[in-house]
């Protein structure tokens, strides 16, 4: 097992040095600065102070929701862009040969890399979500309900995307891998909106189309679950933010997403074990 942790450790250090991670961190910092400034302007606005406290809380909650949405989007993009060549790139450059010829099982090599990236993503999500929560607390004296399970769902979404990137990395070239994962996430994103609209217009066909897209790629469904549990029941009714969820994907869908991740990881391990390096 020690080989697994050695690989996880070196992968974490390798991932943490990638320029794209630092670019994503800068992007997150720029966003958080803008977000903090905007929130400050809102709470210090004289007109805002005259709004009824209940409604004021919901508006603040919706602004925080936008913050979480942006962090979720940045985290997913960062996950894909940093890990897209973790397998295919190292095979193409032959970097993997020096490690794969050591007394290391293929599963240890792949899982170690996955764990290294998972640790790096955990740090990113913690920083991003922590930043939004801190800004909410210090600038607007408001707290988002369910932000901890919300962060856990955002992390689950990133892990799902990471797993798909690893799976496709064992099959396709780096470029094809990136296009496929982002394409699937795009399907999930569009499907999520169709499902939301279907919930508003009570269109069963739109709802089913959204569910089908979530079955194909459940990443957006995980975000909508995260978004839903972070909203108050009043905010759900008022529907103040386009980034919030009117309908929550079911617990069964979340179990499906976890199963999807596990099956994807098992397929990646199997495929990596069988392929030529």
Partner 1 sequence: MATDLAIETTGLRKTFGSKVAVGGLSLRVRRGEIFGFLGPNGAGKSTSVKMLLGLVKPTGGHAQILGCSSENVEVRRQVGFLPEDFRFYDWLTASELLSLHARLSGLSLAQVRERVPAYLDLVGLTPNRDRRLRGFSKGMMQRIGLAQALIHEPELVFLDEPTSGLDPMGRHLVRDIIRRERKRGATVFLNSHLLSEVEITCDTVVFIKQGEVVGTRDLRSSPEGEIHVSVRAHNLGQEILPGLEQWANSAQILDDHLTFSTDSIDFLPEILRYLVTSHVDVFEFTPQRLSLEEAFLKIMGQDAGL
Which chain residues interact with partner 1 by CB under 8 A?
Answer: 2-3, 6-7, 10, 13-14, 17, 93-95, 97-105, 274, 276-277
Tell me 2's DSSP state: H
101 vs 202 by CB, closer to partner 1: 101
Q: Are 217 and 187 in contact (CB under 8 A)?
A: yes
Q: How far is the CB of 2 from partner 1 (least distance, A)?
A: 8
Q: Considering beta carbons, is residue 14 or 239 the nearer one to partner 1?
A: 14
CB of 187 vs partner 1, minimal distance in Å: 32
C-beta of 15: minimal distance to partner 1 in Å?
Answer: 10
Q: What is the radius of gyration, based on Cα positions, of the chain?
A: 20
| Least Å from the CB of residue 28 to partner 1 | 23
The nearer residue to partner 1, 11 or 61, going by C-beta atoms, is 11
Which one, 23 or 94, has the nearer CB to partner 1? 94
The DSSP line for 31-91 is HHHHHHHHHHHHHT-HHHHTS-HHHHHHHHHHHHHHHHHHHHHHHHHHHHHHHTTTTHHHH
Q: Quote the least distance from Cβ 14 to partner 1, whole Å.
A: 5
Candidates 133, 91, 93, 137; CA nearest to 113 is 91
Q: Under a CB-based contact definition with an 8 Å cutoff, are residues 248 and 150 in contact?
A: no
Which of residues 3 and 232 has its CB atom nearest to partner 1 in the complex? 3
Question: Nearest to residue 158, comparing CAs of 116, 125, 184?
Answer: 125
What the block records as the tokens of 235 is 């905010």
Whichever of 105 and 246 has its CB closer to partner 1, that residue is: 105
Phi, psi of 202 (to 5 degrees): 55, 40
Give dist(CA 5, CA 125) in Å, integer.
22
For residue 194, count CB atoms less than 10 angstroms from its CB and return exposed for 0-12, middle for 13-18, buried for 19 or more: buried
Residue 97 structure tokens: 């040969």
Angle of helix 53-83 relative to helix 147-169, nearest 10 degrees, comes to: 20
Min separation Cβ 11 and partner 1, Å: 9
| Minimum CB–partner distance for residue 234 and partner 1 (Å) | 50
Closest to partner 1 by CB, 102 vs 137, is 102
């Amino acid at each position: 097992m020690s080989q697994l942790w050695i690989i996880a450790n070196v992968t974490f250090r390798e991932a943490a040095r990638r320029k794209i991670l630092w670019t994503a961190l800068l992007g997150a910092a720029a966003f958080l600065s803008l977000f903090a400034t905007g929130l400050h302007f809102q709470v210090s606005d004289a007109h805002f102070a005259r709004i009824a406290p209940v409604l004021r809380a919901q508006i603040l909650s919706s602004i925080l929701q936008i913050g979480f949405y942006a962090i979720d989007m940045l985290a997913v993009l960062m996950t894909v862009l940093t890990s897209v060549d973790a397998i295919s790139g190292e095979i193409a450059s032959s970097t993997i040969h020096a490690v794969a010829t050591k007394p290391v099982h293929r599963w240890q090599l792949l899982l170690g890399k996955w764990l290294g990236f998972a640790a790096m993503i955990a740090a990113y999500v913690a920083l991003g979500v922590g930043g939004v929560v801190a800004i909410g607390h210090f600038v607007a004296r408001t707290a988002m309900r369910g932000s901890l399970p919300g962060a856990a769902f955002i992390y689950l979404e990133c892990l799902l995307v990471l797993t798909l990137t690893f799976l496709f990395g064992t099959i396709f070239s780096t470029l094809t891998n990136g296009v496929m994962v982002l394409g699937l996430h795009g399907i999930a994103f569009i499907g999520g909106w169709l499902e939301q609209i279907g919930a508003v217009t009570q269109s069963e066909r739109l709802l089913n189309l959204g569910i089908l897209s979530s079955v194909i790629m459940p990443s957006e469904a995980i975000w909508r679950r995260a978004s839903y549990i972070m909203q108050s029941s009043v905010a759900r009714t008022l529907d103040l933010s386009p980034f919030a969820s009117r309908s929550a994907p079911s617990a069964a869908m979340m179990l499906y997403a976890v199963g999807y991740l596990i099956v994807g990881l098992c397929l990646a391990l199997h495929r990596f074990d069988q392929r030529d390096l």
